[in-house]
Amino acid sequence: MTTDLVIGMAGSGGDGIVSAGESLIAAVATEGYHAMMTKSFGSQIRGGESSCRVRLSTEPVLNPGGTLDVAIALNWEDFLKFGGELPVGGNTIVIYESKTGVAPDKLPLPGVTPAEVFPVPIADMAKESAKTDKAKNTVILGLIAGWFGIGGDGVMKGLRKKLAKKGPELLEANERALAAGRKYAQDHPLKTPRVMERPKTVSPKLLTDGNDMCGAAAIFSGCQFFGGYPITPSTEIMQFLSREIWKYGGSVLQAEDEIAGIGAAVGASFAGKKAMTATSGPGMSLKTEMLGLATIAELPLVLVNVQRGGPSTGLPTKTEQADLYQAAFSAHGDVLRPVLAPTCVADTFEITVEAFNMAEMYQTPVVILSDQEISQRKETCDPIDTSKFRLVDRLRPANSELGTHYARYRFTESGISPISEPGMPGGNYLAAGIEHNEKGAPISGGIMHAKMNEKRFRKLNPIRTRRDLFQTYGDPNAPLALIAWGSVAGVAREALRVAERKGVKVKLLVPRLLYPIAEEFFNDFLSGVQAGLVVEQSHQGQLYHIMKMVLDLPKGLKSYARSGANPFQPAEIVRRLREQAQAMHQSGDSMPQEE
């Protein structure tokens, strides 16, 4: 019996690999498992290679997992294109299409001897049972059900819903394909059975991906306008909202370009509505000027950047964390712009609500820095109690403040000035990208400019005191530290578990507010730290360098960074951390205790 299983499959575009993954994760969710599914494609529009990974566990799943427990290849050429995304090891069970003609002892996996290897006539079984090789993916689901005890009936239940309108024949064909797979597995038992343990409790679960979660959170937050332009991997946010937002009196504008998308959102915010745009790196570059406008005009706005590999077109379908500098610093002039990063699908809800609240509270653009992995992976999550969230609306002027004396940019103690909107009698003002005085009238003098800059920075000060935007794990007195953000946080949390099992004392900081740097919390966390790693999926290690710019870091805290599309594994993080501690020791500094 096993409690955690990572299944990876790959095939050609038409093989239905991803839809098999979708069926499987939906089925195991109803069986009470925690699960996560990531998809990966080549950049072809149709056809080409596609793959997915499904990890399921009786415990909450923190990341897509490392080396596969089960590898399924419909053909080797496509499987191998995913390299490090579908790693096979000595503990992996390899299942592949026997038609590929590859001998079980001649797998194209140099240096790897998998635990067990099964060439299976998947296509023939599909044709025989369902009369079409389109049922290959259902055969695979049958094999999984047979060997690992998961999915089977849940898959059929899902198919019954999905194929309800397509008539009984198709459903029966799928039923036969599933049974064929199951029977094959029963006739060819594993040497070491790996049937999944049943979850102790079965409770209802949400199942969705980060982009849909972001869209749902926007609606919950009261977002009434979305302006955007399609761009991988953020487009699903616009797709979700274009289906749902009208029901709540809002609208989606698919604009002619990225600039118009954010421009319309700025306009909607000026008109008094909560507004949002979403994009990825290249689009973020185009939106930069408009973000500066929202900063100086002091208009609330939420911008989601779902990071992909860059620069330029880069790796459009792969995850990376290399847009942090851009999120924090892409501006001319003195600009302070909050940057928030969700760590998983469920967290995307909280972070999105937070972004709307922050934007409204401080009359500022706020960037949500998600990444391709979180945005497009599916996760089971426990139902979220939405009643615990307080929603913030911008501070509007009281009646007594309106009239000819109304000053839109009035200097206040907090730096936040009550904001009117068109339609409000006596609130008339000029919003402008040009520097202005308290009444909004354009000015060109240095004294007022300095005062306005000071006001725009001062109003954001309270953000740095938001301890709830930082998560810490592990022993608070540990001399070894990990810092990770975004999707890498889930890998780091598992690395912490691995380290703890080995008796290594480590603590982990997961900042969800990436900018401005909350100096106090970082310093608190880092006090007593002798060695540590800031783990990031980028070539430069951008958070590490921003921290270095603002904080006095312990000498032993280093960057552990590598480019996108090369996922980190928990074990390697622990190994690297111990090497880091060792190096500190050898260089004469005190050695952190371990084991």
Partner 1 sequence: MTLAMPAPVPTLQAKDFRSDLKPIWCPGCGDFGVVQAVYRALAAVGRPPHEIAFISGIGCSSRIPGYTTAYGFNSVHGRALPIAQGIKIAHPELLVLVAGGDGDGFSIGGGHVAHAVRRNIDLTYIVMDNQIYGLTKGQLSPTSPRGLKTVTSMYGSLEEPLNPLMYVLSYGAPFVAQGTPADLPGLTAMLEEAIRYPGFSFVNIQSPCVTYGEESGQIKAQKEKMKALADMKHDPTDRIKALSLAQDYGRELYTGVFFRDPNPPPTYDALVKARQAELSANALPRQNILDLFLQK
Q: Does 297 bind partner 1 (CB under 8 A)?
A: yes
Per CB under 8 A, which region of 326-334, 383-391, 472-480, 507-515 contacts partner 1? 383-391
Alpha carbon distance 414, 150 (integer Å): 56
Candidates 123, 441, 498, 571: give the one binding partner 1 (CB under 8 A): 441
Q: Does 267 bind partner 1 (CB under 8 A)?
A: yes
Query: How many angstroms separate the Cα of 345 from the Cα of each of 200, 205, 212, 233, 486?
Result: 23, 13, 9, 15, 10
**Which residue, 47 or 442, is less far from partner 1 as judged by CB?**
442
**Which residue, 128 or 421, is less far from partner 1 as judged by CB?**
421
DSSP 549-584: HHS---TTEEEEE--TTS---HHHHHHHHHHHHHHH
CB of 560 to partner 1, least distance (A): 34
47 by DSSP, 3-state: which? coil
CB of 445 to partner 1, least distance (A): 15
**Which residue, 315 or 424, is less far from partner 1 as judged by CB?**
424
> Contacts with partner 1 in 449-508 (CB under 8 A)?
none
The contacts of residue 73 (CB under 8 Å, 6+ apart) are 9, 10, 11, 79, 94, 95, 96, 97, 100
CB of 73 to partner 1, least distance (A): 29
Q: Does 428 bind partner 1 (CB under 8 A)?
A: yes
User: Which is nearest to 430 in space by CA: 416, 442, 448?
Assistant: 442
Candidates 173, 324, 431, 483: give the one binding partner 1 (CB under 8 A): 431
Neighbours of 101 (CB within 10 A): 9
Candidates 80, 102, 123, 259: give the one binding partner 1 (CB under 8 A): 259
Candidates 64, 228, 272, 310: give the one binding partner 1 (CB under 8 A): 272
Q: Does 423 bind partner 1 (CB under 8 A)?
A: yes
> Contacts with partner 1 in 194-253 (CB under 8 A)?
204-208, 212-213, 216, 219-220, 222, 224-225, 227, 244, 246-251, 253
CB of 264 to partner 1, least distance (A): 3
CB of 388 to partner 1, least distance (A): 11
CB of 362 to partner 1, least distance (A): 20
How many residues line the site for partner 1 (CB under 8 A)? 71
CB of 217 to partner 1, least distance (A): 8
Alpha carbon distance 283, 169 (integer Å): 46
Burial class (CB in 10 A: 0-12, 13-18, 19+), 297: buried
> Contacts with partner 1 in 532-571 (CB under 8 A)?
none
Q: Does 432 bind partner 1 (CB under 8 A)?
A: yes
Neighbours of 89 (CB within 10 A): 15
Amino acid residing at 42: G
Chain centre to alpha carbon of residue 105: 38
Q: Does 29 bind partner 1 (CB under 8 A)?
A: yes
Q: Does 301 bind partner 1 (CB under 8 A)?
A: no
CB of 420 to partner 1, least distance (A): 8
Candidates 141, 293, 328, 547: give the one binding partner 1 (CB under 8 A): 293
**Which residue, 154 or 474, is less far from partner 1 as judged by CB?**
154
- Contact predicate 219/244, CB 8 Å: yes
Alpha carbon distance 354, 359 (integer Å): 8
Candidates 34, 182, 273, 493: give the one binding partner 1 (CB under 8 A): 273
Q: Does 30 bind partner 1 (CB under 8 A)?
A: yes
DSSP 114-148: -SEEEEE-HHHHHHHHHSSGGGHHHHHHHHHHHHH
Alpha carbon distance 519, 503 (integer Å): 30
CB of 255 to partner 1, least distance (A): 7
Category of 471 on φ-ψ map: left (φ > 0), alpha (ψ -120 to 50) or beta:
beta
Alpha carbon distance 117, 106 (integer Å): 11
CB of 289 to partner 1, least distance (A): 6
Chain centre to alpha carbon of residue 124: 38
